[in-house]
């Protein structure tokens, strides 16, 4: 199986090289040359997420990781609960936050890390992963790589611009994870990472890689839980829609891949905050990237969603076809707060600011469609306690695995947003 770049100006590569490279050299995203349907007798037959995930992964990895190893990788990727909770009639919450960092990104992070570990072991290379984070992504990626041999991770985060709990997660892992606290913005962090990839001296000295959601090994495994959750729905006759609180639209794209593979999903709902370029595209047929707007569901503050090109690619670039497969809704911060209050007071179920946007979108869609809606609940409410608590007027319990981070001692190197300082730091580590 080959992977081509969505810009079609780079060579096709193997799964291995697509994973190691992350982004194609022409700036496009890697895309598999085909998406195979799963054979009859797999979907809707009560199989486990491990079995289904393996069947999916095998078709994309296509022999580049031996089946025994791949089976192990898949089972370690989803070795925590991914329950489907009924919030009310015909609305279900797929809780994706039972992993080590309480965010759905654990799934992609774990799969990517284990695939890279396999490839690095095979070749004896050492890889340094650079991750710029605005708060949430860095910890899931780093936790995925924690203790993985042959791979070092360097995280960059903007000083003072992440929450206490996020900072503790970013700065206390130790082992092969090191953290730089940058006296600047997230954009400064990202700019330094980009510059590092373009620096010939650094590239000659060390093998650099990235781990953001453009990587095929980060977004593909997210399809596993679409298959897994579908098995748990009792009613297989009423149409099912999946609602994804979206930023870069990796989660939603993974669902579209699951559908291509045969999972009977009637519609996708792309739910956003004020950063609504995709709902706007669905309305007007025009895609206009713009700078992101800060909101209380900040993991979705994306003004130019990276996976949108994959959605286009799946639908031959055709607006009508995209509109057949998905709808979009956007919600303000006020609606988000009101939504959290409303869900807990009516149903007793607590949602956080991202998931609740997906929930409100399902309710909107159900006004005109008789369907079951599955909402991807992408994080634990305690990760966004400073937003959730005032909205619902109650304290949120912090799960033990988050409290554990709060007890540890922060270790981070403070640097200026200055590329030479960053480069020096990297070179000293070889
Ligand atoms: C990353 C993130 C999202 C957005 O996911 P995409 O795949 O980028 O659309 C939603 N919610 C939370 C909590 C996140 O961390």
Q: What is the residue-averaged pLDDT of the chain?
A: 94
Percent of the chain with pLDDT over 90: 84
pLDDT digits (tens, 9 = 90+) for 318-357: 999 999 999 999 999 999 999 999 999 999 999 999 999 9
**Which among 253, 251, 226, 241 is positioned nearest to 312, based on CA atoms?**
253
Mutational pocket test of ligand 1: of 220, 248, 352, the residue with most ligand atoms within 8 Å of the beta carbon: 248
Q: What atom of ligand 1 comes closest to residue 253's alpha carbon?
A: 7
On the question of pLDDT at 125 being above 90, the answer is: no
pLDDT score for 393: 96
Q: What atom of ligand 1 comes closest to residue 248's alpha carbon?
A: 8
pLDDT score for 25: 86
Cα(67) to ligand 1 centroid in Å equals 30
Cα(200) to ligand 1 centroid in Å equals 33
pLDDT digits (tens, 9 = 90+) for 12-58: 999 999 998 888 889 899 999 999 999 999 999 999 999 999 999 99
pLDDT score for 347: 98
Question: With b meaning 16 or more CB within 10 Å and e meaning fewer, what string describes 69-103?
Answer: bbbebbeebbeeebebeebeebbbbbbbbebbbbb
Cα(300) to ligand 1 centroid in Å equals 6
Catalytic residue among 2, 8, 105, 383: 105
Give the binding-site residues of ligand 1, using a 6 Å CB cut-off: 103, 105, 136, 213, 245-251, 299-300, 354, 378-379
**Which among 353, 343, 348 is positioned nearest to 386, based on CA atoms?**
353
Residue nearest to atom 15 of ligand 1 (CA): 299
CA 406 to chain centre: 24
On the question of pLDDT at 135 being above 80, the answer is: no
Q: What atom of ligand 1 comes closest to residue 137's alpha carbon?
A: 15
pLDDT score for 211: 80
pLDDT score for 327: 98
CA 179 to chain centre: 21
pLDDT score for 372: 98
pLDDT digits (tens, 9 = 90+) for 148-181: 889 999 999 999 888 888 999 999 999 999 999 9
Q: What atom of ligand 1 comes closest to residue 136's alpha carbon?
A: 15
Please give the radius of gyration of the chain, using alpha carbons only, rounded to the nearest integer: 21
Cα(152) to ligand 1 centroid in Å equals 24
Interacting residues of 223 by C-beta distance below 8 A, sequence separation 6+: 56, 254, 255, 257, 258, 261
Cβ(265)–Cβ(241) below 8 Å: yes
> Could you give the CA distance from residue 70 to residue 77 in angstroms, rounded to a whole number?
10
Residue nearest to atom 8 of ligand 1 (CA): 248
Sign of CA pseudo-dihedral 182, 183, 188, 192: negative
Of the two residues 303 and 256, the one the predictor is more confident about is 256
Neighbours of 1 (CB within 10 A): 16
105 counts as catalytic: yes
**Residue 91: how many CA atoms within 13 Å on its side-chain side?**
22
> Could you give the CA distance from residue 216 to residue 29 in angstroms, rounded to a whole number?
8
């Amino acid at each position: 199986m080959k992977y081509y770049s969505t810009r079609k100006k780079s060579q096709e590569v193997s799964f291995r090289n697509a994973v190691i490279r992350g982004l194609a050299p022409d700036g496009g995203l890697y895309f598999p040359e085909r998406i195979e349907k799963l054979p009859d007798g797999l979907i809707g037959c009560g199989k486990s997420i491990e079995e289904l995930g393996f069947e999916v992964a095998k078709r994309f990895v296509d022999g580049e990781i031996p089946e025994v190893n791949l089976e192990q990788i898949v089972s370690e990727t989803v070795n925590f609960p991914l329950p489907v909770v009924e919030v009310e009639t015909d609305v279900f919450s797929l809780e994706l936050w039972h992993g080590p960092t309480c965010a759905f990104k654990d799934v992609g992070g774990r799969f990517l890390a284990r695939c890279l570990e396999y490839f690095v072991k095979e070749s004896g290379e050492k890889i340094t992963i650079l991750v710029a984070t605005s708060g949430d992504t860095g910890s899931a990626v780093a936790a995925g790589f924690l203790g993985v041999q042959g791979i070092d991770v360097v995280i960059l985060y903007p000083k003072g611009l992440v929450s206490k709990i996020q900072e503790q997660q970013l700065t206390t892992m130790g082992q092969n994870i090191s953290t730089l606290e940058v006296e600047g913005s997230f954009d400064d962090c990202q700019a330094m990472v980009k510059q590092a990839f373009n620096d010939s001296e650094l590239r000659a000295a060390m093998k650099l890689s990235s781990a953001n959601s453009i990587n095929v090994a980060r977004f593909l495994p997210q399809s596993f839980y679409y298959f897994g959750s579908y098995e748990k729905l009792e009613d297989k006759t009423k149409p099912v829609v999946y609602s994804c609180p979206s930023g870069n639209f990796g989660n939603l794209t993974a669902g579209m891949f699951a559908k291509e593979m045969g999972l009977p999903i009637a519609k996708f709902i792309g739910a956003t905050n004020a950063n609504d370029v995709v709902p706007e595209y669905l309305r007007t047929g025009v895609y206009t990237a713009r700078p992101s707007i800060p909101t209380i569901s900040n993991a979705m503050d994306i003004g130019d969603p990276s996976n949108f090109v994959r959605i286009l690619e799946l639908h031959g670039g055709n607006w009508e076809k995209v509109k057949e497969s998905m709808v979009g809704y956007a919600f303000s911060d006020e609606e988000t707060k009101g939504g959290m209050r409303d869900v807990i007071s009516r149903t007793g179920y607590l949602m956080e600011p991202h998931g609740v946007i997906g929930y409100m979108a399902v309710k909107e869609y159900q006004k005109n469609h008789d369907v079951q809606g599955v909402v991807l609940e992408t994080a634990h409410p305690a990760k966004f306690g400073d937003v959730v608590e005032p909205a619902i007027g109650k304290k949120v319990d912090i799960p033990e695995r988050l409290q554990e981070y709060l007890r540890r001692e922060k270790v981070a190197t403070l640097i200026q947003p200055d590329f030479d300082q960053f480069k020096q730091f990297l070179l000293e580590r070889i």
